[in-house]
Chains A and B, each alone.
Chain A
Amino acid sequence: ETGVTQTPRHLVMGMTNKKSLKCEQHLGHNAMYWYKQSAKKPLELMFVYSLEERVENNSVPSRFSPECPNSSHLFLHLHTLQPEDSALYLCASSQAQNSPLHFGNGTRLTVT
């Protein structure tokens, strides 16, 4: 496999559920990112990890919790989400923080 792989592709969860989104990159990159894409809104950067350390947290609610166990894997743990959290969640990686981003296909999340 090559590129950035996200699982699952689709997720429906209730507001009291706990779920996790997974991202894996096979590009040997050192930085990984979570973005949120909502309808009619620009992409929002949520978290940035560089060399497995979180370097950016853009005022994201605590019901979203990222985890980066190594440079190839990134998780987004979800807990007690709200319906307005329904969106496409995109993972990306880059060789360095100034390098172009490589995105996964995203996870389409629906919170009921």
Chain B
Amino acid sequence: AQKVTQAQTEISVVEKEDVTLDCVYETRDTTYYLFWYKQPPSGELVFLIRRNSFDEQNEISGRYSWNFQKSTSSFNFTITASQVVDSAVYFCALSEATPSTGANSKLTFGKGITLSVRP
């Protein structure tokens, strides 16, 4: 069975601080996808990134960066120079895709991390 653990439940930082959101996953499959989604106060989840298990290259997108470490089963997310608009709930998710089933049907979300960025 697959599992996603986001041990941090709430994080509060001051604007311009860097913050790292942790995600640890469990899976028995060798082929899987990892995701991060952001849920602002308006409610809708916004897709941030998808990584497949064969691509361990870290990714940077503006102030966002992701560190994928298969050796520790982690997919951590760092926000550099945080801003008030980054305040949201952030979800890490895992999917074990099979040839006959779409990845989204096997998507497991973590419980989310509430990030508050204070001015």
| A40, B47: Cβ atoms closer than 8 Å | no
**Residue total for A at the interface (Cβ-Cβ under 8 A):** 28
Residue B108 at the chain A interface, CB threshold 8 Å: yes
Residue A71 at the chain B interface, CB threshold 8 Å: no
| B102, A106: Cβ atoms closer than 8 Å | no
Residue A34 at the chain B interface, CB threshold 8 Å: no
Q: How many B residues touch the partner, as a band?
A: 20 to 34
Given contacts A43-B91, A100-B50, A101-B45, contact A48 B105 (CB under 8 A): yes
What number of A-B contacts does a CB cutoff of 8 Å give?
63
CA distance A99 to B104 in the complex (A): 8
CA distance A63 to B35 in the complex (A): 31
CA distance A90 to B102 in the complex (A): 19
Find chain A residues with CB under 8 A from B90 CB.
Answer: none
| B111, A101: Cβ atoms closer than 8 Å | no
Residue B46 at the chain A interface, CB threshold 8 Å: yes
CB distance from A76 to the nearest CB of B (A): 16
Using a CB-CB cutoff of 8 Å, which residues 73-119 of chain B contact chain A? 91, 97, 101-105, 107-112
| B111, A106: Cβ atoms closer than 8 Å | no
CA distance A73 to B99 in the complex (A): 27
Residue B43 at the chain A interface, CB threshold 8 Å: yes
| B44, A42: Cβ atoms closer than 8 Å | no
Residue B42 at the chain A interface, CB threshold 8 Å: yes
CA distance A111 to B67 in the complex (A): 41
| B102, A96: Cβ atoms closer than 8 Å | yes
| B105, A42: Cβ atoms closer than 8 Å | no
| A43, B104: Cβ atoms closer than 8 Å | no
| A98, B97: Cβ atoms closer than 8 Å | yes
CA distance A50 to B32 in the complex (A): 21
| A31, B107: Cβ atoms closer than 8 Å | no
Given contacts A31-B102, A31-B104, A55-B105, contact A103 B45 (CB under 8 A): yes
A residues near B (Cβ < 8 Å) are: 4, 31, 33, 40-43, 45, 48, 50, 55-56, 88, 90, 92, 94, 96-106, 108
